[in-house]
Amino acid sequence: MRCIGIIGAMDEEVAGLKEYMQDVEITRKASMEFYAGTLEGKKVVVVRSGVGKVNAAVCTQILVDEFQAEAVINTGIAGSLNNDINIGDIVLSTDLVHHDMDAVGFGYPKGQIPRMEEFSFQSDQVLRKLAAEACREVNPDIQVFEGRIASGDQFIADQDVKDFIVKEFSAYAVEMEGAAIAQAASLNHVPFLVIRAISDKADGSAHVDYPAFEKLAIEHSVKLTKKILKELQD
């Protein structure tokens, strides 16, 4: 039977989901533990991928191959790239791009993977709409945004680097896994959504804000993920 795959990069990002799961069976593969069971009445596989794009892509492929995931949700935290998006707010991906992909020397725009059609990977619109409505219900005190998310194997904590990513990609948030999950899911024709709560502003204050607000941000994304599962049609 098929299931929804739920990926968080770090233990903290999936712990709040695992604790509510029932009938859990653990499978170990590629140094990851896949928790298969039910959550809010839906069949799910929850997994900590590890940080970065390679871990995230490997994890997504396993969810597709071993668990026949019919959709993939990535839940976690991100840095804000927009002054209106505050710490604690949620960004739902419209599409995702690799901000560190660079084949400019071959005439490709920054972010474009050579010899692939897509510049960015489009999220599932049905999941996104459902998530936006669910977020207003379970997190009424914060804002929810729908926009592009930029991913790279870098923690962004520098105003100049942030400015470059904003200018080049018009992204709303920056993190380290989403585009890899999006690309792997797209290659397999599996719908996906990336849900990120903001932990920092991806500038010089990020190293201080991140540890201070990580927990609060994770609470928002976990709460939302559970509500989405509850509202999903079987």
Q: How far apart are CB 38 and ligand ADE at their closest, in Å?
A: 29
Question: Closest residue to ligand ADE, Cβ-based?
Answer: 79
175 is catalytic: no
206 binds ligand ADE (CB under 6 A): yes
Q: How far apart are CB 221 and ligand ADE at their closest, in Å?
A: 11
Q: Which of 177, 200, 203, 214 is catalytic?
A: 200
Please state, in angstroms and rounded to a whole number, the distance separating the CA atoms of residues 6 and 12.
14
133 is catalytic: no
Angle at 65 between CA 61 and CA 70, to 5 degrees: 85
* Contacting residues for 230 by C-beta, under 8 A, at least 6 apart: 40, 41, 42
Report the b/e string of 168-190 with b at 16+ CB within 10 A: ebebbbbbbbbbbbbbbbbeeeb
Please state, in angstroms and rounded to a whole number, the distance separating the CA atoms of residues 150 and 100.
9
Binding mask 46-85 for ligand ADE (x = CB under 6 A): -------------------------------xxx------
Query: Closer to ligand ADE at the Cβ: 23 or 84?
Result: 84
How buried is residue 69: exposed, middle or buried, by Cβ count under 10 Å (0-12/13-18/19+)?
buried
Please state, in angstroms and rounded to a whole number, the distance separating the CA atoms of residues 167 and 187.
28
Stretch near ligand ADE under the rule CB under 6 A, chosen from 10-18, 85-93, 134-142, 168-176 = 168-176
155 binds ligand ADE (CB under 6 A): yes
Query: Closer to ligand ADE at the Cβ: 50 or 79?
Result: 79
150 binds ligand ADE (CB under 6 A): no
User: Do 181 and 57 form a contact (C-beta atoms < 8 A)?
Assistant: yes
Binding mask 93-112 for ligand ADE (x = CB under 6 A): --------------------
Stretch near ligand ADE under the rule CB under 6 A, chosen from 19-27, 101-109, 174-182, 186-194 = 174-182
Please state, in angstroms and rounded to a whole number, the distance separating the CA atoms of residues 167 and 184.
26
* Tokens standing for residue 57: 């892509």
26: which strand partners?
35
Catalytic residues: 13, 200
Binding region for ligand ADE (CB under 6 A): 77-79, 155-157, 174-176, 199-200, 202, 206, 210
